[in-house]
Structure 1
Amino acid sequence: MVRLIKEIIVVEGKDDTAAIKRAVEADTIETNGSAIGEDVLRRIALANERRGVIIFTDPDHAGERIRKIVARHAPGCKHAFLPQEKASYKGDIGIENASTDAIRQALSELRTEALSGEGGEITWEDLMEAGLIVHSDAARRRLIMGKLLGIGYANGKQFFKRCTSFQITKSEFVDALREMEQKAEGS
């Protein structure tokens, strides 16, 4: 079953576009990597106004940098995240390496970025108490929580920003934390 996506999906390159088109019916805009030109950013802003935009970049440092740049030019856009292990092939990390099922799943679990002034319920203290910052195992715990919450991996400061900008509720946060701790006890 091919799913039609009305929003335009922003990806890094032509191989990502090919992978998206194998998984769903959608239009894409390619950033051509991290050297995003002003004309591409204008097209993304226009696409966001007219049809909406989904940012779907690689789950690596360069992809996160591109995500931030695009999100600044497309306020209120949607985000799709893939965990690194679902986007890896022989040491290469990228959307183009993901299976069609992984791409469809990521596109079915979109997160919408809140507009300026709106924020979530999660506090910095919540992250500290959950061991997601200032903890010897914080990076691994953020990786797991990022998957469970559908917001991807990020450092502590960026993880907090994602929790607030994607308006993660206390309930979602507590449920994900409980699931992470139950899995840890079971292993």
Structure 2
Amino acid sequence: MTQEEKNQIIDMTLSAIGRINHPRFFRSERGYQGELYCRLREEFLSQNLLDERMLEPEYQKRPTDHLTQQRPDIIYHIPAPAEGEVFINNYTVWALKLRADHPDVISDFEKLYEMISLLQYPLAVFLNIDSDSHYLHDCIPDYRNRIVAFTTMRNEAEGKLVICKAYYDRNDLQEEFYSVDW
């Protein structure tokens, strides 16, 4: 996966997050996940990125095939045939948490590390819903350049959605803030 392809997926993720503003989705991780999947699918279809490649929600990894029992919230990949190699054609994995605190985020980062190392996902996305804390600074250095973290919150007073995108550029933590009217 090229850096240009990673950037495209990150941009589509930001766009999808920016279109989710109904208060109901900020009360339920599962509800937000379903809406994010739908919005991501629209983005991927508009860019003709779903052919043999698939965007799938909460895919169950079988330990006998994948060496892990992780259940990522959303994945983008080419499914391996029954006897095929599961370590190739994996592109992006998304993990979502609702109002996650530090221990929750660290736990999800550890799950993402496993997906990156065992299944060779070149890009992992973490989203902390209804929070302004991404905790990316606590990510293990070996994985910093493969994980992008987002936060999203409703600002009721201003009628805006506030999004933070955090990532590492070499060893420097970068944060970009976006404000979207609803």
Q: Give TM class, smaller chain.
A: 0.3 to 0.5
Q: Greater helix percent: which structure?
A: 1
* TM-score computed with the length of structure 1 as normaliser: 0.34
Report the structure number with the largest CA radius of gyration: 1
- TM-score, normalized by length of structure 2? 0.35
Which structure has more relative contact order (CA 8 Å, sep 6+)? It is 1
